[in-house]
């Protein structure tokens, strides 16, 4: 039986004295959505994620990460993968830190790597309409990017569907904003840079009556974490993400 240490990967780490600009640089250039923060004895102190670094728009800021550190999902090296998934679900994070009995950080398990294994091992129950978040917050392609930036900071959501005439045409995510370096200046100056400049297309969708299993496999096949849900007229009625799918896994 595979356990946490079998999926463990090296994840860049920080200490409380590091600047938020360092965290931004790592998250922009790597695949990670979260970074772990260690104390002087390499023990896990917490984590911060993309939403945290987006809060500081000044590219030369001397703000440290200390005020942004939050409690992390943590597991032991021998934790079964179902237990790792449960820890991630409870913390609503995208990874879990692997620590030894003294709290020393050993590595991390990414939800994106764990998710395909979990859905292949257990039955996925229900229909999309039973698991989705209805009436999602959306944006339009012509919306100024600073509005979406502020929405992501305030809501904690990882992405927003981009909708034109109620039909989803793209997704704008935290990573899209982070990687578009000029966007920070647009936000800072309240400029009119629009969503269509940074959104990801094409968009993969499901319907409310599709099995949740269908949504799960689309997420794996297309390496996406969230899907808009559309009705028979292609109008958006909800969104479903990896955490929603994981809540539908049979015991």
**pLDDT value of position 47:** 97
- Say which residue, 215 or 196, is predicted with more confidence: 215
Region 229-247 average pLDDT: 96
- Tell me: the pLDDT tens digits for 128-181? 999 999 988 899 999 888 788 778 777 777 888 999 988 999 999 888 877 765
**Ordered domains of the chain (ranges, CATH):** 4-121 (3.10.580.10), 128-246 (3.10.580.10)
Asked if 13 and 98 count as a contact pair (C-beta separation under 8 A), the reply is no
Chain-wide mean pLDDT for the chain? 90
CA-to-CA separations, 14 to 5, 19, 48, 63, in angstroms, rounded: 21, 9, 9, 14
Give the model's confidence band at 98: pLDDT under 50 very low, under 70 low, under 90 confident, else very high.
very high
Give the closest residue to 55 by CA, choosing from 159, 139, 172, 155. 155
Per the document, the length of the chain is 251
Highest mean pLDDT among 24-38, 57-71, 146-160: 24-38
**pLDDT value of position 145:** 80
Asked if 112 and 225 count as a contact pair (C-beta separation under 8 A), the reply is yes
Asked if 138 and 226 count as a contact pair (C-beta separation under 8 A), the reply is no
- Say which residue, 156 or 21, is predicted with more confidence: 21
**pLDDT value of position 228:** 97
- Kindly report which listed range (20-29, 31-40, 165-174, 222-231) carries the lowest average pLDDT score: 20-29
Query: To the nearest 10°, the Cα dihedral for 171, 176, 177, 179?
Result: -170
CA-based Rg of the chain, rounded to a whole angstrom?
A: 19
- Tell me: the pLDDT tens digits for 177-203? 777 655 555 555 555 678 888 899 999
3 state SS of 209: coil
């Amino acid at each position: 039986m595979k356990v946490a240490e079998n999926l463990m990967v090296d994840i860049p780490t920080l200490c409380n004295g590091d600047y938020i600009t360092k965290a931004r640089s790592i998250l922009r250039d790597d695949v990670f959505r979260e970074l772990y923060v260690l104390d002087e004895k390499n023990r896990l102190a917490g984590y911060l994620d993309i939403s945290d670094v987006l809060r500081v728009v000044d590219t030369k800021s001397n703000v440290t990460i200390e005020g942004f550190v939050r409690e992390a999902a943590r597991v032991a090296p021998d934790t079964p993968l179902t237990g790792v998934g449960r820890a991630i679900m409870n913390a609503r994070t995208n990874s879990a830190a692997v620590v030894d009995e003294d709290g020393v950080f050993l590595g991390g398990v990414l939800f994106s790597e764990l998710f395909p294994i979990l859905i292949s091992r257990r039955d996925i129950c229900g229909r999309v309409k039973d698991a989705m978040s209805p009436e999602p917050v959306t944006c339009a392609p012509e919306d100024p990017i600073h509005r979406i930036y502020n929405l992501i900071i305030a809501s904690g959501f990882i992405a927003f569907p981009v909708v034109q005439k109620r039909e989803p045409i793209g997704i704008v995510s935290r990573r899209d904003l982070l990687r578009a370096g000029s966007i920070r200046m647009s936000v800072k100056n309240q400029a009119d840079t629009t969503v269509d400049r940074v959104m990801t297309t094409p968009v993969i969708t499901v319907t409310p009556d599709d099995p949740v299993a269908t949504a799960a496999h689309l997420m794996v096949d297309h390496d996406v974490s969230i899907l808009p849900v559309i009705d028979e007229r292609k109008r958006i009625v909800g969104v479903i993400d990896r955490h929603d799918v994981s809540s539908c896994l049979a015991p």
